[in-house]
Amino acid sequence: MAEPEFTATGVRIEKRLRSLTRAGQVRIRDGRVQLLTSYGSEIDSAPVQTVRASKPWFAADDRALADLNGKRYTLTLGDHDPAPGEGGPPAARRFIEAVRRAAGRGG
């Protein structure tokens, strides 16, 4: 089994104003983006080529937007990468770059 191309844990996942999980997971693996609850249940997933990831204009640096299957999710990741050996989600910027790289759109 191949290693995931990107994994973030401890991610707050919201859809509109509704919080779906406060400690979820975001994975890019085998050409798919997956949003998971803290228990590993799938919230949504889509082929990476169809996912749009972006940075909201007027939001904190730890936020990213992800459009999967016509639904927009707000992801609250870290505002900076954690120190080596330290827990915590990676920066939102890294998620956006990982989606673009995995979809072949550059990074």
pLDDT per residue of the chain (107 residues) written in tens, 0 to 9: 455 689 999 999 999 989 999 999 999 999 999 999 999 999 999 999 999 999 988 888 889 999 999 999 999 997 666 767 776 667 888 999 999 999 887 65
pLDDT at 20: 96
pLDDT at 3: 53
Are 90 and 78 within 8 A, CB to CB? Answer: yes
Distance CA 83, CA 88 (A): 9
Give the 3-state secondary structure of residue 12.
strand
Distance CA 65, CA 75 (A): 6
Q: What share of the chain is helix, strand, coil (3-state, %, to 5)?
A: 15, 45, 40
pTM of the model: 0.85
pLDDT at 1: 43
Distance CA 59, CA 10 (A): 19
Q: Could you tell me which of 33, 31, 48, 35 has the C-alpha nearest to residue 9?
A: 35
pLDDT at 30: 92
Spatial neighbors of 64 by CB under 8 A, at least 6 apart, are 53, 54, 55, 56, 74, 75, 77, 92, 93, 95, 96
pLDDT at 100: 92
